[in-house]
Structure 1
Amino acid sequence: MIEQNKSSAGHVRLIDLPAVTDPRGDLTFIEGERHVPFPIRRVYYLYNVPVDAERGGHAHRDLEQVVFALSGSFRMKIDDGKTKSEYWLRDPRKGLYINRLIWREMDSFSQGAVCMVLASHPYDENDYFRDYDDFTLAVNEGVK
């Protein structure tokens, strides 16, 4: 089981998932609170994203997520309010864990890319920071 202080913020890391492989193909599975550090409360996926489109452009007050490229690839641009980094997701066995108070942007989708997201909470518009300045202010003040 993964142990983590859920009250911490600004944490991002890659998660490797198990795979069962046989001549018929590969099978990967995910269990909440075992492979991801939270109970899974929502699953959604993006597909038919134009190759020149940008997605994301927000942060969350409380929500934690793990993002996967089930097919194809795309870039995740990550910003904790102080440091920026990039991750290219292209392996369906590797997910990017994104804790709360992380600004994320997605772009460079390959043709036919499918992005799946596991989320710790149901959708709640009040959980979003959609303005970057509001986000950085909250990070710098340590506000939730």
Structure 2
Amino acid sequence: MSLPVLVALVVFGIALSVAAVHFTGGTKTATLADADQALRRFAEDFPDELVATVRLTADARTAFLDLGNGRTGIVHSIGDCFLTRIVSASDIVALDVDDRGAILLKLADFTWKGGRFVFADRTDAKTVAVALGLDNPRLAREAA
């Protein structure tokens, strides 16, 4: 087999694989329809946890759930799936709230480092940040 034919077959095979993944939903990003869906998804992994409030981000990809006692549940979409975490101040490396209502969260967890989460309401962002421990002096030093 000549090299140009082999290269054409490889390129065609890769393009066909990418198209198959895309058209079967592999590039779809999951979103949360509402707070109830976030509660149900969180309860699948943590059925014994009692949730006080749920706050969704503006893009509906993440929900922060107030669990009390300095703990916060997180439901976050990655691809077409959701991951769930329970975090406390000891799990957080850095935390900040910007002027536009976004939380910048960096976690010590090597499987998910956190990210930037934008809320439609700046009050929600501030409330979630305080629940995560924004008023903790250790986090204030590390975020600076």
Q: TM-score, normalised by structure 2?
A: 0.28
Between structures 1 and 2, the one with greater strand share: 1
Q: TM-score, normalised by structure 1?
A: 0.28
Q: Which has the larger radius of gyration?
A: 2
The structure with higher relative contact order (CA 8 Å, sep 6+) is: 1
